[in-house]
């Protein structure tokens, strides 16, 4: 059963851009600022310093399952 909130295409793209930082951060104030803040509200990203967002573990898991289409582990 699907029990996760739907991610709009723009937010999936913002999540992927966070992934591409390879553990780094992405600045706020770019065109995807609203999506970064939405991802933060969902627990998939966090504002680690004023205006800098990083992916959370939950965000990495969601990215793997929804963007990369990798099956979730049975852990």
Residue 3, pLDDT > 70, answer no
Domains of the chain, CATH where assigned: 9-67 (1.10.10)
Phi and psi at residue 27, to the nearest 5°:
-75, 150
What digits encode the pLDDT tens for the residues 14-58?
999 999 999 899 998 899 999 999 999 999 999 999 989 999 999
Position 1 scores a pLDDT of 41
Whole-prediction pTM: 0.84
pLDDT higher at 56 or 2: 56
54: β partners: 46
């Amino acid at each position: 059963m699907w029990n996760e909130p739907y991610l709009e295409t723009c937010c999936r793209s913002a999540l992927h851009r966070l992934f591409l930082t390879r553990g780094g951060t992405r600045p706020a104030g770019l065109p995807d600022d609203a999506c970064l803040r939405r991802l933060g509200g969902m627990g998939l990203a966090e504002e680690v310093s004023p205006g800098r967002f990083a992916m959370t573990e939950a965000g990495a898991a969601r990215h793997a399952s929804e963007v990369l289409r990798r099956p979730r582990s049975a852990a």
